[in-house]
Amino acid sequence: MDNLSHDSHDSHNAHGAHNAGNHEVRERLQELRRLVEHHRFAYYVLDKTEITDAEFDLLYHELEAIEKENPELVTAESPTQKVGARPSTDFTEVRHRIPLLSLANAMSEEDLTHWQERIDRGLADDDGNVDASGENHIFVCEHKIDGLSVALSYEKGVFKKGATRGNGEVGEDVTLNLKTIAALPGQLKSVAMLDDGTLVSRARAQAEGLKCSDKMLDHVEVRGEVYMPVSSFTKLNEALTEEGEAPFANPRNAASGSLRQKDPAKTAKRKLAFWAYFLYVLDEGVKQPLKHSENLDLLADMGFPVEPNRLVVRDLGGVKKFVDDWYMPRHALDYQTDGVVVKIDQRKIWDKLGATTHSPRWAIAFKYPPEEAETRVEAINFEVGRTGAVTPVAFLTPVKLAGTTVKRATLHNADQIKRLDVRIDDSVVVRKAGEIIPEVVCVNFDQRPQNSQPFEYPTHCPACGSELARLKDEVVLRCLNIYGCPAQRLRRLIHFVGREAMDIDGVGEVLIEQLVKAGLVSDPGDLYRLSEESLLTIERMGKKSAQNILSALETSKNRPLAALIFGLGIRHVGASVAELLAGRFPSIDSLMAAAPEEISGIEGVGPVISDNVREYFSQPESRKLIEDLRAQGVKLEQDAGEAALVLAPTLAGKTFVITGSMARMERLEAEKAIKARGGKATSSVSKKTDYVVAGESPGSKLAKAQELGIKVLDEAAFLALLELS
């Protein structure tokens, strides 16, 4: 359709002239689509509301109004056409504008020297002379982060698309998942530009007193590494093990698995991070800085995280020093590195040297030697976790590995022991899996003692002797003696005092072990019966520390209800689920008395959690613990500040969608009223919706409800249902 034919229509509405030929209208349309997409994503995936529902509706209605007046501008991509579509990834293929090459490896310092010689030969003139300026010997050293490389494109400063490397030419579109990474900017900052269009880093502009203007770039491509911080990786693996699932072998696999989740909400929970390492500016008339190092500074100016330990060195000796200097300290970084990437600083030289089919000639990856060591297995022990998961651990003759002395290595599970055929007294190769948790790689069978016997996996719990079971779909063995098993009790006590739980300052794993050993504590309630006197019987405990502990215990009695629920250590009830439960039930008593559907009806809480909560409270031991805590003065309900509006769960399990405006209540209020009665308020109509509440001037949701045959309530009927009329 010819858009210009609409120029003669002088149409007006509440938002002014929304005329298709009008440039401003098109811009506004783009802006609105972007905003609506952004807030939908924040709401559905990140579980974050940045604006009120009323504000969202205003944006959405304005978008609808413009499209209604200018139907020729409606495209399939518009959020109005994807009714209620929850963002989902389909991993379509993306052809990279600039291919993502790989890097050649240098396994030794000698390899680095050969690389330099190749560079010199490549840059020599016909007589074999190398440019004496020395620029070809100035390098940037960067840590080689062990994650996965991605290509990101930004248009007019806004993140548009991101893809994995794939085969270097074609990757997978993981835009929505990338949007869940907090460190990855959604909106870029402007950069400094000289009059002739050359970009400069803010640092240089300031140091050299350069006169520059602010420039928001139109087309930017960024390359970098998505990774999982070591701290997140450790927590994730602990959680997976507790849940009976197989842990990830290293942070790279974890990052890759998380970035390629079909549901971005899952990626969002995985706490990925990002370092940027290449910038390509595609704007016409704009020139990038000549040095790679300054481009990295520019990336930081734009709001990208750039690894801070990068270093410009003046010759290959400097590279070797960087490699040596970081050999040990790199293990203390919160990201796993497997080497150093060395790049020639001067980008002009990049063009001169070019690339082979696989890798550029101007960069190389120095790889640290794999960190393995051989040692002897002294014993194989089994550790019982808080929820009864039993994991085998090899106790080793201490050996130096990757900067630490290793005494223990995980054997993961029974299958792994069988696969490796590890036996006591075997010589084994241990490696730091992702340089984090040491693991046994293989057995050196040549060293196996003659009288060696195959290792028998225990059939009974090493801590309490009860029979171990393998639950459906789990790889770990579990001790099901939840209350009797001393190991589980100990782990639960440690969990109870933890920061996100009762946060008892000064009481950690070591003290708990001592208290249990001394027979002073076996249940959380016992903690509150400790006295200065009894604490002083613990080795190296001073009067002052004892008093501090008692006062921390006293303070903990007033922890929020959610912290207490979390502290009980109910399976599948993590800190955020505990928040949800505490938000719905004003006290432990009401949670204990809740019907299963009241619990599973809470948004974000499913039947598995509901079953576990019910199972937990059905145990006499759990009830005894609650009564004991009550008797000790631990607060078991929300206080006035926390108390949400909680009413009888008359709408448990019911899903509502509100459309249009109501006379007696704001949208947000209506949603609160639904949630307070145990119902769920969502913003899109689907087959799962039970009621659509239609106020004044309802939107497309009403039509959709009618199409799907969903019950529609007007305001009066809705108020009656809430028992407010």
Residues that bind ligand IVH (CB under 6 A): 101-103, 142, 144-145, 148-149, 165, 225, 277, 341, 360, 363, 365
CA distance 392 to 409: 9
User: CB–CB of 262/410 below 8 Å?
Assistant: no
**Angle between helix 486-497 and helix 509-517 axes, rounded to 10 deg:** 140
Our CB check for ligand IVH shows the closer of 62 and 225 to be: 225
Of 57 and 225, CB closest to ligand IVH: 225
Which C-beta is closer to ligand IVH: that of 359 or that of 416?
359
Contacts of 8 (CB under 8 A, 6+ apart): none
Can you give the C-alpha Rg of the chain in angstroms?
31
Least separation in angstroms between residue 365's CB and ligand IVH is 5
Q: Is the dihedral of CA 220, 223, 226, 230 positive or negative?
A: negative
Q: Least distance in Å: CB of 261 to ligand IVH? A: 19
Alpha carbons 231 and 7: distance in angstroms, whole number = 59
- Kindly tell me which of 149 and 638 has the beta carbon lying closer to ligand IVH: 149
Tokens representing residue 131 in the block: 């440019």
> Closest separation between CB of residue 545 and ligand IVH, Å?
46
Least Cα distance to 362 among 351, 345, 352, 350 occurs for 350
Kindly report the number of other CB atoms within 10 A of residue 132's CB atom. 7
- Cβ(19)–Cβ(11) under 8 Å? yes
Q: Which is nearer to ligand IVH, 180 or 336 (CB)?
A: 336
In the complex, what is the shortest distance from the CB of residue 44 to ligand IVH, in angstroms, rounded to a whole number? 30
Contact 618, 596 (CB under 8 A): no
Nearest to 525 by CA among 496, 545, 498: 496
The sign of the torsion formed by the CA atoms of 501, 502, 505, 510 equals: negative
- Pseudo-torsion of CA 707, 711, 714, 719, nearest 10°? -150
Closest-CB residue for ligand IVH? 149
Query: Are the CB atoms for 677 and 651 separated by under 8 Å?
Result: yes
CA distances from 110 to 88, 313, 317, 356 (A): 49, 18, 12, 21
Residue 517 is a catalytic residue: no
The CB-of-168 to ligand IVH minimum distance in angstroms stands at 9
Residue 273 or 365: the one with the smaller Cβ distance to ligand IVH is 365
> From the CB of 233, what's the least distance to ligand IVH, in Å?
16
Nearer to ligand IVH, 360 or 560 (CB): 360
Give 555's Cβ-side CA count (13 Å radius): 14
Spatial neighbors of 205 by CB under 8 A, at least 6 apart, are 192, 212
Is 682 in contact with 604 (CB distance < 8 Å)? no
Residue 18 CB, nearest approach to ligand IVH (Å): 46
Cβ closest to ligand IVH, residue 341 vs residue 652: 341
The number of CA neighbours under 13 Å toward the Cβ of 536 is 7
How do 219-227 and 148-155 pair as beta strands? antiparallel
d(CA 7, CA 20) in angstroms, rounded, equals 7
Nearer to ligand IVH, 252 or 584 (CB): 252
Block residue for tokens 């190389």: 364
How many angstroms separate the Cα of 205 from the Cα of each of 191, 284, 285, 306?
11, 22, 19, 19
Residue-by-residue DSSP string for 590-653: HHHH--HHHHHTSTT--HHHHHHHHHHHHSHHHHHHHHHHHHTT---B--TTT-------TTTT
**C-beta of 342: minimal distance to ligand IVH in Å?**
9
Token pair of 508 as six digits: 């950690």
- Whole-number Cα distances in Å, 64 to 68, 77, 658: 6, 14, 17
3-state secondary structure of 457: coil
Pair of tokens at residue 342:
């060395």
Residues making up the chain, counted from first to last = 725
List 692's β-bridge partners, or say none. Answer: 657, 712
Distance CA 194, CA 182 (A): 31
Among 48, 68, 82, 144, the one annotated catalytic: 144
Closest distance to ligand IVH from the beta carbon of 304 (Å): 13
The residues pairing with 682 across neighbouring beta strands, listed in sequence order, are 657
Q: What is the DSSP string of 354-397?
A: -B-SSSBTTEEEEEPPP-EEEEEEEEEEEEE-TT-EEEEEEEEE
| Whether 718 contacts 671, CB under 8 Å | no
Count Cβ atoms below 10 Å from residue 111 Cβ, excluding itself.
15
> Any idea which residues carry the catalytic annotation?
144
